[in-house]
Structure formats: structure tokens, C-alpha cells
Amino acid sequence: MRDRSLQAVLNRHRGRTYARHAEDAPAVAVESVAVRYGDDVALENVSFRVEVGERLAVVGPNGAGKSTLLRVLVGLQDPTGGAVHVHGHGPSRHVCISYTPQKSTIDWRFPVTVSDVVRMGRIARRGPARRMTRQGRSLVQQALRAVALEPLAHRQISELSGGQQQRMFIARALAQEAEILLMDEPFTGLDVNAREDVLQQIVRLHERDVTCLVALHDLAIASTSFDKVLLLRRQQIGFGAPSEVFSEARLRRAYGECLRLAEADGGLVFLHDTACTGGSNGHP
Amino acid sequence: MGILEWLSEPFAYPFMIRAALAASAVGALCAVIGSFVVLRGMAFIGDAIAHSILPGLAAGFLTAGRGDRRILFWWALGTAIVVGLTVGWISQRNRVREDTAIGIVFAGMFALGIAMISTSRGFAVDLVHFLFGNVLGVSVSDLWLIVGFGLGAILLVLLFYKEFVLVSFDPTFAKTLRLPTAFYQYLLIVLISVTVVVSLQTVGIGLMLAMLVVPASTAFLLTKRLPAMIALGAVLGALSGVIGLYLSYYWGVASGAAVVLVSIAFFLIALLYTSWQRSLPRRRPTSFPAP
């Protein structure tokens, strides 16, 4: 899918070529990736593939390397071992990957409006004289409409609720024409309704063939709303469909001996055994 | 004495006109660049650049003598840019905590400057000029330098406005769009350096931080969007400059201090106003059914 817009042609001319997507390559292919800081291992032996349009939940205890993995996938950080391919190329040659950092890294008092933030998604694809093209403006409008934030477009970002803030970032990814969306703990601090709301948006992205990789803590959401699950604790403990990955043995390897798994109404229930004292607490 | 007379009297002196132009131009420029300083939390870097200029000034002063003041400008500019880029480079590595590193550069350079100046005669007088500025001594050529470099800096901000906003708001996202974020970071530091040097004669090294931070923060309290914040900050900065000069003329207050005190008065008024507004009971949304 080669971008034939004028800006893309100009960019190629200036040597800022963005990688062409290989047709039959998976959206994301990770081969024995490792990240080490000196002797410290942050990630090791991670290998998985995500097909175009799939939803992957990345789960694991705090410090398991979820954020590190996302940073490697978007090309913010190079792995110290192994290889990452996004649509057949190294991640740093793409502008089709949208990355939403943890909420706490954003300064919400920053004097920008919702529409300002969504427009930021267009910066890499501006037209001649670095102005936004008409197509870009209509994409921004469509993105705001898609996440139902049009009425709040001119609000300062701190006036949004937690769920609306996550939807704003999804709109920014839509305006960016992102084909891969990476989100780092989008559900943290959201109530049940807001969580459902964001999940619905992720389902819609799936309909648009956007591949979603989401780091999260809630195993129940991971097992019900995602096609595949990657269970991490510095190493890859499991990868596959949620029902295959979430076995009690694997979960204990990830979270320690106190985790119990129960089945109810065809779904999985994750319990912490308060009477349990043995095993690690999940912090390696 | 009528109010008009009172207002126009100082401007019977050409040096007062030059001073007013310089003070308002510097006030506006500092607020424009200062908006990014405030939003990115770079106040300490700005202060460090200002204080680190001293050895550059001293070197220019000792080599050129006090006859040619113009040469001091270029010495200061060179020093500011070198120090700014060094500090920027340090803050991208994380061997030492960023604020510690900046503190060391800041204090070290300042001490070096004082040591150099102290070897010359007339030490106290010259040091006071550098530290607190002397806007009443602005010459026509100084004014041209202020306007020229100030407009240049503002033009660059306008040209790269969207990039500066993105890099300030969400640097990680900027990197994922494959923008050269380090370039914009360094460019911003160079612009801060230029602003500091251009403003030197108005408020001096000691009070530079106030001009960078205070009008922009006042505007931050009162606005919701960045373009409005920058514009309001520029107006407040320029107003502080002119009102400060009046205070200085009629009450014999040091001009730099007067300008800064006026800008802080604006800040306090804005702070009181916004806290008063917040304490008002919120209006019930119209869609909410009445009990």
C-alpha cells in the first residue's frame, strides 16, 4: 500500500522514505527479542506474530517488560537482541504506528484543545507549504466523529473524563491513518462504563483492520475482548488464544503462587488467594 | 499635573523613548519564548543560561575594554549558545540527574565570570550593570539588535510552531512520527539563549528568569489555548516593560527591578482572579433535571 499523496512523494524526494508495506507479511513479527541494560534483563526470548487487524493483549505483572516491549515495537528503543518487523520492515521506518503512552506521562494542563491534539496526528503527512491538506482536515473531523468527541472538540484536554481522554488518543491515531495502534494501560483509572466505551472503540478499530496491541492489567478484559494474549514476565510465558494461555500453571509462573483460576459461565475468573502465603508476589 | 502630562513627561527624553521601546520589545519576546519554557519546565535551564553568560561578558570586557560595548553582545551570544547546547546535551544523557548537572554548570560558570571580572578595576560598577541591566543606557544600535534578533526568534517560532507544540506536549508521539525531536529541542535552547542575550541590558542576568517565566505564567492562568497564551503573554510582557519604566522614572526605582515587580503584580492579580473564579459555585448544567 504505497502512499501516493503529494506529501509522500515530496518526503521520498527529501530522502525521508517511509517503508512500503510488504503485502503478505504479518502486521507485527517479533523474533527472539531481548532488551538488556548491562547485566539487567528487561526482556528475553520474546517471539510472536500478530496478523493484520488482530487484537493482542500484553499482560504480566508490574515490571514484566510490557512498556519496554511496546517501545521496541514502535521503534523508540532498539532491542539488544532479536528482530522486530512491522509490515515486513523495521519499525522506525513507519509512520503508521500510533503509540499512546501511559496517561501519567501527559501534562493534562497543557493549553491545547481536543481538536489540537487530534490534528497532531497529521503532522507527518502535511501538504505543500507544511499546511494541512483538505483531506487531512476532513480526516480529523471524521476521527472526532468516530469517537463521539465532536461536541467536545474545543475543550481544553483537562476538562475530559478519563474515558474521553483515551478516546481522544484513539481519534489521534485515526487521524494519523495508523494501521497499528499501541496503547499502554489505557484502562487504568477508568470506571466500568468508560472501560466499555474504550473497548467498543477498539472493536471498531478491528473492523477497520487496524491492528491493536494493548498493554493492560485486567486479565478478565484480556480474556474476553482480545483475539490473542501475550503473557510476559521478562520472558515470554505464553502466547496464543486467551483460553490456551490462561492456564493456572502459566499464570502462577507470571504472577506467583497465589493466583487461582476459576471458570464461571464459560468465562474465566481470576482470583487472588488471600490465605496463600507461599511463592513470590509477582515482582521478580 | 494632568494625567496626559504625567504620562508624556518621561518621553521628552530620547533615552526614555529608546528604553521604553527596548523594554516592551524584550517583554514581548521573553513571553513568547517563555511560554515554551514554562510548558516544558525549562525554567532552570533558562536561568542557567542567563547566569552562565557572565564569563563570556567578562572575557569580552577584558579583551575589548569598556570602550566598545557592542562586542560584549557577541561574546554573550556565543557563550549563551555554547552553554545552552552543552546543557541540552547533558540533559539528554542521564549519567547525572539533569538538575544537578545544570546546577553545576550554572554555578561554575557564574563563579568563573565573577573571578574574571574581579581582576579588573571598577569591578563593582561593571558587575552591577551585568547583573541588573541598564535599560536607560540602550543605544539606537542596541535597539536594532534587540528588534532584529527578537523578530528572527519569533519568526522561527511561527515557522516551527506545530512541531514545537507537539515536541513540548508529547515528545514520545513526536518521535513515533519520526520527527527530528532532538533538533527542535536544541533549536528551542538556541532561541532561549538568543532571548536571554537580547534581554540582558533591560533586566540583567539576575532577573532574566522572571521575564522568561512570569508573563507567560500569568497568561497560562488566564487562557486555554496556546496561541492565546502566547499573545496575552506578549502583551503583558510589553506592558510590564512600559509601566516598569514609569515607576523607575517617577520613584527612582532600578528599572529592571521595576519591570519585574510590575509583571509579578500582574501574576498575583491573575492568580487571585482565577482562585476567586474557582471558588464560585458551579452553574448547574441545563440538561440536569431540577430536584
Q: What is the ipTM of this complex?
A: 0.82
Q: What is the mean pLDDT of chain B?
A: 87
**Strands A259-264, A235-240: parallel, antiparallel or unpaired by DSSP?**
unpaired
B267, B199, B202: which is closest to B236 by C-alpha? B267
- Identify whether the C-beta of residue A256 lies closer than 8 Å to the C-beta of residue A280: yes
Suggest the residue from B162, B164, B176, B225 to mutate for an interface test with chain A (most A CBs closer than 10 A): B176
pLDDT one digit per residue (tens) for chain A, 284 residues: 445 555 554 444 443 445 567 667 788 888 888 898 888 888 888 999 998 888 999 998 888 888 899 989 988 888 998 889 888 878 777 778 888 888 778 889 999 999 999 999 888 777 666 778 888 888 899 999 988 899 999 999 999 988 899 889 989 988 988 888 999 888 887 888 888 888 888 888 888 888 999 998 888 888 888 899 999 988 888 898 888 888 888 888 888 777 777 776 667 777 777 777 655 444 44
Span B117-126, mean pLDDT?
72
- Structural domain includes residue B281: no
B190, B155, B151: which is closest to B46 by C-alpha? B190
Look up the pTM and report it: 0.83
- Structural domain includes residue B285: no
Question: What angle is formed at CA B251 by the lines to CA B246 and CA B254, rounded to 5 degrees?
Answer: 80
Give me the number of domains chain A comprises. 1
Suggest the residue from B173, B183, B225 to mutate for an interface test with chain A (most A CBs closer than 10 A): B173
* Pairwise CB contact (< 8 Å): B169 & A110: yes
Q: What is the pLDDT of residues B199-231, one digit of tens each?
A: 988 888 888 899 999 999 999 999 989 999 999
- Structural domain includes residue A185: yes
d(CA B206, CA B204): 6
d(CA A157, CA A272): 37
Q: Which residue of A has its CA nearest to B179?
A: A124
Residue of A97, A106, A110 lying closest to B39 (CB–CB): A110
- Structural domain includes residue B272: yes
Domain carrying residue A167: 6-251
d(CA B171, CA A120): 11
Neighbours of A205 (CB within 10 A): 20
Q: What are φ and ψ of residue A18, in 5° steps?
A: -95, 145
The single-letter code of the amino acid at B54 is: L
A282, A104, A272: which is closest to A188 by C-alpha? A104
* Pairwise CB contact (< 8 Å): A120 & B172: no
Q: What are φ and ψ of residue A82, in 5° steps?
A: 80, -170
Q: What is the pLDDT of residues B245-270, one digit of tens each?
A: 999 999 988 888 899 999 999 999 99
- Structural domain includes residue B134: yes
Chain B within 8 Å of A101 (Cβ-Cβ)? yes
B171, B188, B184, B217: which is closest to B31 by C-alpha? B217
The single-letter code of the amino acid at B239 is: L
Q: What's the pLDDT score for residue A156?
A: 93
Grid coordinates given for B195: 532571548
B37, B58, B35: which is closest to B48 by C-alpha? B37
Q: Which residues of A113-136 are buried (b: 16+ CB within 10 A; e: fewer)?
A: bbbbbbbbbbbbbebeeeebbeeb
SS3 category, B184? helix
- Structural domain includes residue B179: yes
Q: What's the pLDDT score for residue B100?
A: 82
Size of interface A-B (CB pairs under 8 A): 67
Residue A17 belongs to a domain with what CATH number? 3.40.50.300
Domain carrying residue B267: 3-276
Query: Taking CB atoms and an 8 Å cutoff, what residues of chain B touch A18?
Result: 178
